[in-house]
Amino acid sequence: MDMATIQDWIVRVVIALAIFFIGRFVAQKITEIIRSAIQKSKLDDALTSFVGHLAYAAMMAIVIIAALHQVRIQTTSFIALLGAAGLAVGLALQGSLANFAAGIMIIIFHPFKAGDFIEAAGTMGIVEEIEIFTTKLRTGDNKLVIIPNNQITNGNIINYSAKDTRRIDMVIGVSYSDDLAKVKEVLSSILAADERILPEPAPTIGVMALGDSSIDFVVRPWVKSSDYWPTLFHLNQTIKETFDREGISIPFPQRDVHLFPADKAEAAG
């Protein structure tokens, strides 16, 4: 190898290193610009992180191929080898790829966002973070649950925070001997006294069923989503206390047991 060839090789290596470091710097700056643009559009933080990482990885792949091409490494075979390795890894990590695809679906279709209270994959909790492979939920008793994204998208997703208002569904049983008009009046006064209950849509109060041991009233007031649980707890307690003062009974299943003397039972047999 003569001196001219060595010099040519050194120049190519220097240019390749310059392409790599300058390309990496440019990729970082472009990624920052992309993230800033997404943040200004007030999209979800998970989308910002995902697009940023994806854009940076794509740009770095181009930079690396350009640097290798400068030192006369056959990038065609390199790309083919990379594709074969990607296929092998993909076959070995089918579950992870399914979670990755599910993460993309969550980002695109946006069924929930960070801070929403949801029920998915048999778990209820507040969404803390949406990642590419998993979603993190914080349960009511402050436990962190990490759910693979594929399990979330393969089942029903209930987003309790998607709407500003929710309806409370209650079934209140009273005795057959109680005055139904009075029961309805008492229930109406309880709902009217609670400022958290919205006037529109108007609450529903009516007889839903004539049960075996009770007449069942359905009580359905509307509240803000943030007031759902406090209002439900308060109504249950208030209805019981008010019924006790008004002499309205809340029946419960009972069983009558009849005892017969042994001699009479044998005679009857």
Judgement on whether residues 126 and 183 belong to the same structural domain of the protein: no
The whole model's pTM is what?
Answer: 0.62
pLDDT tens-place values along the chain, 269 residues long:
567 777 777 877 888 888 888 888 888 888 888 778 777 766 666 666 667 777 888 888 888 878 777 777 766 666 666 666 666 655 555 667 788 888 888 888 889 988 899 999 999 999 998 887 889 999 999 999 999 999 999 999 999 999 999 999 999 999 999 999 999 999 999 999 999 999 999 999 999 999 888 999 999 999 999 999 999 999 999 999 999 999 999 887 766 677 777 665 555 55
Max CA separation in the chain (angstroms): 125
Question: Among all chains, which residue has been given the structure tokens 């019924």?
Answer: 243
**What's the structural domain count of the chain?**
3
Judgement on whether residues 121 and 194 belong to the same structural domain of the protein: no
- Residue 97: inside a domain, yes or no? no
Judgement on whether residues 242 and 227 belong to the same structural domain of the protein: yes
Judgement on whether residues 171 and 230 belong to the same structural domain of the protein: yes
- Residue 100: inside a domain, yes or no? no
- Per residue, the 3-state secondary structure of the chain, as one string, reads CCHHHHHHHHHHHHHHHHHHHHHHHHHHHHHHHHHHHHHHCCCCHHHHHHHHHHHHHHHHHHHHHHHHHHCCCCHHHHHHHHHHHHHHHHHHCHHHHHHHHHHHHHHHHCCCCCCCEEEECCEEEEEEEECCCEEEEECCCCCEEEEEHHHHHCCCEEECCCCCEEECCEEEEECCCCCHHHHHHHHHHHHHHCCCECCCCCCEEEEEEECCCCEEEEEECEEEHHHHHHHHHHHHHHHHHHHHHHCCCCCCCCCCCCCCCHHHHHHHC
- Residue 219: inside a domain, yes or no? yes
- Residue 50: inside a domain, yes or no? yes
Q: What is the CATH number of the domain that holds 116?
A: 2.30.30.60
Judgement on whether residues 140 and 169 belong to the same structural domain of the protein: no
Q: What is the CATH number of the domain that holds 217?
A: 3.30.70.100
Q: How far apart are CA 91 and CA 93, in angstroms?
A: 6
The residue from 58, 92, 126 where one domain ends is: 92
Residues in a beta bridge with 242: none
Judgement on whether residues 170 and 225 belong to the same structural domain of the protein: yes
- Residue 252: inside a domain, yes or no? no
Six token digits for residue 17: 């290193």
Judgement on whether residues 148 and 180 belong to the same structural domain of the protein: no
Judgement on whether residues 177 and 203 belong to the same structural domain of the protein: yes
Q: What is the CATH number of the domain that holds 58?
A: 1.10.287.1260
- Quote the radius of gyration of the chain (alpha carbons, Å): 33
Q: Can you say whether the dihedral through the CA atoms of 213, 218, 219, 224 is positive or negative?
A: positive
The range of the structural domain enclosing residue 175 comes to: 165-246
Judgement on whether residues 63 and 120 belong to the same structural domain of the protein: no
Look at residue 6 in the predicted model and tell me its pLDDT. Answer: 74
Residues in a beta bridge with 170: 219
Judgement on whether residues 169 and 146 belong to the same structural domain of the protein: no
- Residue 98: inside a domain, yes or no? no
Q: How far apart are CA 146 and CA 131, in angstroms?
A: 10
Residues in a beta bridge with 220: 204
With CA atoms as reference, report the closest residue to 220 among 237, 205, 232. Answer: 205
Judgement on whether residues 221 and 236 belong to the same structural domain of the protein: yes
Residues 210-224: b if buried by 16+ CB within 10 A, e if exposed: eeeebbebebbbbbe
- Residue 256: inside a domain, yes or no? no
Look at residue 269 in the predicted model and tell me its pLDDT. Answer: 54
Residues in a beta bridge with 124: 119
Judgement on whether residues 7 and 83 belong to the same structural domain of the protein: yes
- Residue 207: inside a domain, yes or no? yes
